[in-house]
Structure 1
Amino acid sequence: MVSPEYWGIAGDPISHSPTPRMFSIIGEFMGLKSNQIYIQSSSIDDFLTQVSEIKGDIWISCTSPLKHAVPSGLSVNSPEGVFALNQLMRSGGRWSGANTDGWGFISASRHLGVDPSIATLRIRGGGSAARSIAAAWSSEGGSIIPEAGRRPLLNGPWDGSVLDSGKADLAVDMDAPPAGGNSVDLEGALQVSVSYDDKTSKDEFAVIMLAAQHLRAWEQLFLPSMVNELPSLDELLSSI
């Protein structure tokens, strides 16, 4: 089992993110060590310039505003309808990627006792994370009520799950500003936030989702051969 030379986070802002800590926690659990990197970047050109100066293999969690730009910038395919990647790996000079936003949301919802296969989600916004969540939620069998935000939720593989109206079991404002910004109040039995800052508790939905999507990145992209050896979500959260 070989560690990459570097692992860390890229995007803007990133200083509030616990993702580098999660890399270290899982790495220690798996007996791996690497060097932390923080790539503060708001454009794909700047990101490519910075990573070109880093030698060796890299595992990166990618945040806004880079997520939607890396598929074309690195010529890496993204999931249908999502058009974004939030996990990147450079191995032997070759890039690959995954989008785990939706899976993280699904896992965090289950952690709270909401079953996406039978639940209705009210979701505001249509950005890359919203599209990833819509795709994952619909694939689980749940229904979606889109709410207008800065961008609408465009057509995608979730179209058959969309409702015009109704009661929602869970609501989320995906247009809430990053770094702990406030959400717009939405109708739903339970509303959660995916925006967090350095004061957000590990018991809050945003951090649970982040931990779940990070674990998924190890399972799907970084170390799929060792999926059965990874810590559980509860084990990761308890160590943050």
Structure 2
Amino acid sequence: MSTARYAVFGHPISHSLSPRIHSAFAHQLGIALEYTAIDAAPVDFATALERFAGEGGRGANVTLPLKEAAFALCARTSDRARRAGAVNTLTRNDGQWHGDNTDGAGLVRDLTSRQGLDLRARRALLLGAGGAARGVAPALLDAGIAELVIVNRSPERADALADALGEPERAHSRYWQDMRDLGDFELIVNATSAGRGDGNGFSAPLSLVNSRTLAVDVNYGEAAIDFLAWARAAGCHDVVDGLGMLVEQAAEAFEHWHGVRPQTDAVYAALRERDPVLVTAD
């Protein structure tokens, strides 16, 4: 019997920890699989995905900047993928791709189970409106936050995400330049590349922070350094990067493909211990 083939698609993708994570899960559970990283620019993604399917690919994870493109290529999508308008987990069924989005579930599980944080009734600010933000926004609402304010440098993207969530009483879009007037938040989630690698760091008004603020970056490692540094300097009560989210969303995908959920704590601890500063986010 041939080994089952899985992959993660992104651009760039050489940094990805997903092959290491899924290999660890498979070893833990005695499942034979091949999991590789495939670099595909947006213009080449559909062709690369079909080639992978033709070579026996059974499932794939999708990272930046392909999550919304993956959604468009699916014959069927889960409810949470449709709410997000983005897909990060693909499964090959009957010659078609079926799409899911495990990002939000991964984030909430990390924050509530691993970090022991309560998200209920928090006023939340979501920075960004791309594939990563779309993946986590519905799950934050489902976790019981009181309000979600979405801010993006391209305001029409923030408007579109707020409209797609379908909860006008709780989810709103605002302008990036108006953040000083938004008040303070108990949860700030960074799902942007703001400040990353431009030498200017991350900057936002300190008035966004109160004594209870939880600051979360969906990125991890070097990609999260600037935002996390700002959050600590601003006096946020809790500061969390996206490594735990990455491991938990991978576990969701693994369970979807193989019918059994792996244990995540040991894999998370090994990644954190081996690479105190990791490369970037999936």
| TM-score above 0.5 | yes
Residues 1-240 of structure 1: matches in 2 within 5 Å?
Answer: 5-43=4-42, 46-54=44-52, 55-78=55-78, 79-91=81-93, 93-110=95-112, 111-150=114-153, 151-152=157-158, 153-155=161-163, 156-162=165-171, 165-176=182-193, 183-185=202-204, 187-188=208-209, 189-197=213-221, 205-219=241-255, 221-223=256-258, 225-227=259-261, 230-231=262-263, 233-240=264-271
What letter matches 2:245 in structure 1? M
Q: Counterparts of 1:199 and 1:84 in 2: how far apart (Å)?
A: 21
CA shift, 1:177, in A, is 5.4
**CA separation of 1:134/1:198 partners in 2, compared to 1, >3 Å: closer, same or farther?**
closer
CA contact (8 A) 1:41 1:47 kept: yes
Q: Counterparts of 2:269 and 2:196 in 1: how far apart (Å)?
A: 22
Residues 183-221 of structure 1: per-residue CA shift (max 9 Å, x gap):
4436232322122357989x96211110111111123x2
CA contact (8 A) 1:76 1:96 kept: yes
CA shift, 1:34, in A, is 1.9
CA shift, 1:12, in A, is 0.9
Residues 68-103 of structure 1: per-residue CA shift (max 9 Å, x gap):
011222333253331110011224533222101111
Q: Counterparts of 2:268 and 2:56 in 1: how far apart (Å)?
A: 29
What letter matches 2:16 in structure 1? S
CA contact (8 A) 1:4 1:57 kept: no
Q: Counterparts of 1:74 and 1:167 in 2: how far apart (Å)?
A: 39
What letter matches 1:64 in structure 2? L
SS at match of 1:235: helix
CA contact (8 A) 1:122 1:171 kept: yes
SS at match of 1:190: strand
**CA separation of 1:184/1:76 partners in 2, compared to 1, >3 Å: closer, same or farther?**
farther
CA shift, 1:147, in A, is 4.3
CA contact (8 A) 2:219 2:242 kept: yes
Q: Counterparts of 1:178 and 1:56 in 2: how far apart (Å)?
A: 40
SS at match of 2:162: coil
CA contact (8 A) 1:170 1:191 kept: yes
**CA separation of 1:4/1:142 partners in 2, compared to 1, >3 Å: closer, same or farther?**
farther
What letter matches 1:170 in structure 2? L
Larger deviation, residues 164-173 vs 63-72:
164-173
Computing the radius of gyration over CA atoms, which structure comes out larger, 1 or 2? 2
Larger deviation, residues 172-181 vs 12-21:
172-181
CA contact (8 A) 1:3 1:33 kept: no
CA shift, 1:134, in A, is 1.7
Which structure 2 residue ranges, 5 or more long, are not aligned?
Answer: 175-181, 226-238, 272-282
Higher helix share: 2
User: What is the identity percentage for the equivalent residue pairs of Structure 1 and Structure 2?
Assistant: 26
SS at match of 1:170: strand
Q: Counterparts of 1:183 and 1:158 in 2: how far apart (Å)?
A: 30
Residues 5-58 of structure 1: per-residue CA shift (max 9 Å, x gap):
212210112111211111101011111122232211122x52232233331133
CA shift, 1:180, in A, is 7.7
